Each structure stands twice: as C-alpha cells, then as structure tokens.
Amino acid sequence: MASETRAFLRRSRARRSAGAVLLAAAAAAAPAGGQVVSDLEPERPIAVEDARPIAYRALAVSADWSYNARGSADDTGPGFSALYGATRGLELGAALRYVTRPGRNALRGISSGDLEVHALYGVVNESARGPGVAVRLGVHLPTGLDSRGTDVHFAALATRSFDSFRLHGNARWTRIGDTLTPERADRLEGTLGVDFLPSRRGSTDTLLMASVQVRSSPILGGEMILEAEVGGRRRIGAQSVFFAGAGSQLSGEGDRAKVRIRAGVGHLF
C-alpha cells in the first residue's frame, strides 16, 4: 500500500514537473511565416520535412491519394492531415491514412486508419551561421483496423538553404508499442532531401524535391530499406497547393513498394 502511495506521488510529481516544463517551453517560445509551397510536410508529397513549423495561427489541411505497386498485392488509399500553428514556433498536427488490405499491411508495419498526432517545435531558426533545427514528437494511436499498440516517435529535423536550393535532413526513432515475435520494436530512419525552384526567373509557384531515405526493416534481421522519392508542389490558388510525387523502395523484402505514386491538394487557412 505504502509503495503504491509512493508510486502515485512520484507519478503526480512527474506530471506536475512535465506541466511546468511545458509552460516554460510555451513561454520561451518566441514568435512562426505563412509559406504555401515551401513548408514541407511528410508525405506531402515525399517523406522529407523541413525544420520549420507552420506559421502561428495558420491552419493547413491536406488530402491525397496514394498507390503502392507491390507486384502481387497492390494497395491504395486516401490520406488526410491537418496542421495548426498553436503558438509561435510550435506546430500541432494530426494525420490519418487508409490503405486497402489492412490486415496484410499491418504485418508490414503500415497501419490503416491509425491517428497520428504530433508536435513540432522550431528550436533554432536558420541564420547565416547555421541551419534551422526543429524537433518533432508524435504518437500513433491504434484507432485503425488491425491496429495493436500505441507507437511513439521522436525526430530531429534540420534545414539549410543555399542560393538555389535547400537541403533537409531528418532523423527519426520510433518505438512500437505492441510487437509480434519477429517484429522490431525500435526502428530508426534517416532522410536526406533537397528542394529547388525550377523556374529560371525565380518564380516561387512551383517547388521540386527529391529525397533518399534509409530505415530499419520492421522484421528482426530483415534487410535495411532504401527508398528514393521525387515530387513537386505547385501553387494552384492564393493559399492552395497541388502536390504529386513518385518513389520506389530500392531494397527491402520481396513485397516492398516497387512504385509509389501520390497526389493531393492542400489549403492554408
């Protein structure tokens, strides 16, 4: 009984200190700009993300359709996401993706209908001296079909702009909440991406991008997955953007996505 009380008090103290840290972080959070094309979000259209939260008070919503050609068992489905600039430098977001064959995809570590919520904080702005740095904490809730446990991910993002292009680096660690015997619980991934304006006169209406991603296999002892993607974002309205991308898992298990195509639209409110 006494040990239970001590444990309860410890948890209460931890919650209080986490709350205090959260308040301190929010207070330290200084003022974030409303960019339509250049604010990169994962899977919009490719995996890489820039180290820049969405502007304070801005709300961005996106919807897309993805198709994965896996040879024998292709899958397809829609994805939705919403981002909000909750305070200066802090972005809160939620994303949802549905894929066909949820049972089979669950075994590949691909959920259908799991709600992913995240917070992204811009730690350091890009300056003449160094790159922009941001951290991202996300939770995958088992709200979908054939979902098992709650997963948590932590990512560090960096962006450096050069005269005619920007370079992005993302490193991410994911802890899977509930695994089957052959499944890997801790997964790592690293992404390196580049984006640039194709217009010779410097128009910022279209942005092209490419990325290479390396990530650990969801199966213990499985082959490392190497994936390459290319894509583009094109402004189609004052605050709207169309995006499309294609990619391929160059290495991995036999049922890997040999071709992935994704297209969608986003709007900034």
Partner 1 sequence: MSRLLACVLLLPALAPEGLQAAEEPFRPRGFHNDSVHRYFPDLNSRLNAVRYGRWRAFEIAWISGINPDLDREFSSYLLSLLSDPPRYPPEPNLVAPRFTRGAQPVARALRWGQMLEQQLSDALASPDAMAETTSARLDRALAAYRREIYAVRKPAPEDGGAVAGAAQVVFSEAVRAAPVSAKILISGTALFIRAAEALAGPNFGEQRWLVMDTIGQFDRAFAGDFGQAVPAPPAGGSGEPAGPEAGALRPLGYGSTAPTVVALSPLVTEQLDLLSLFRIEVFEALIPGGWNAQARRQRDTRLRAVARRYGLPEEGIGGE
User: Is 124 or 180 the residue whose CB approaches partner 1 more closely?
Assistant: 124
HSE at residue 119, side-chain half, CA atoms within 13 A, is 11
Smallest gap, in angstroms, from Cβ of residue 56 to partner 1?
4
ω into 131 cis (within 30 of 0): no
Beta-strand (E) ranges in the chain? 59-69, 75-87, 90-97, 115-124, 132-141, 151-161, 165-175, 186-196, 206-215, 225-235, 240-251, 259-268
65 touching partner 1, by CB under 8 A: no
User: Is 92 or 261 the residue whose CB approaches partner 1 more closely?
Assistant: 92
22 touching partner 1, by CB under 8 A: yes
Smallest gap, in angstroms, from Cβ of residue 189 to partner 1?
17
Residues in Cβ contact with 191 at an 8 Å cutoff, skipping those fewer than 6 apart: 47, 48, 168, 169, 170, 171, 172, 211, 212, 213, 214
Task: Enumerate residues 88-117 that contact partner 1 by CB under 8 A.
Answer: 88-89
Stretch that binds partner 1, among 34-42, 105-113, 209-217, 257-265 (CB under 8 A): 34-42
Of the candidates 196, 190, 152, the one whose C-alpha atom is nearest the C-alpha of residue 40 is 196
Determine which residue in the list 69, 94, 107, 152 makes contact with partner 1, applying CB under 8 A.
Answer: 152
Smallest gap, in angstroms, from Cβ of residue 148 to partner 1?
18
Q: How many residues bind partner 1 (CB under 8 A)?
A: 59
232 touching partner 1, by CB under 8 A: no
121 touching partner 1, by CB under 8 A: yes
State whether the Cα torsion 215-44-160-21 is positive or negative.
negative
8 touching partner 1, by CB under 8 A: no
Determine which residue in the list 126, 151, 227, 229 makes contact with partner 1, applying CB under 8 A.
Answer: 126
154 touching partner 1, by CB under 8 A: yes
Tokens of 141: 């809730």
252 burial type by CB count under 10 A (0-12 exposed, 13-18 middle, 19+ buried): buried
Note the residues at the interface with partner 1 (CB under 8 A): 14, 17-18, 21-22, 24-25, 28-38, 52-53, 55-58, 85, 88-89, 121-130, 132, 134-135, 137, 152, 154, 161-163, 166, 197, 201-205, 207, 235, 238-239, 268-269
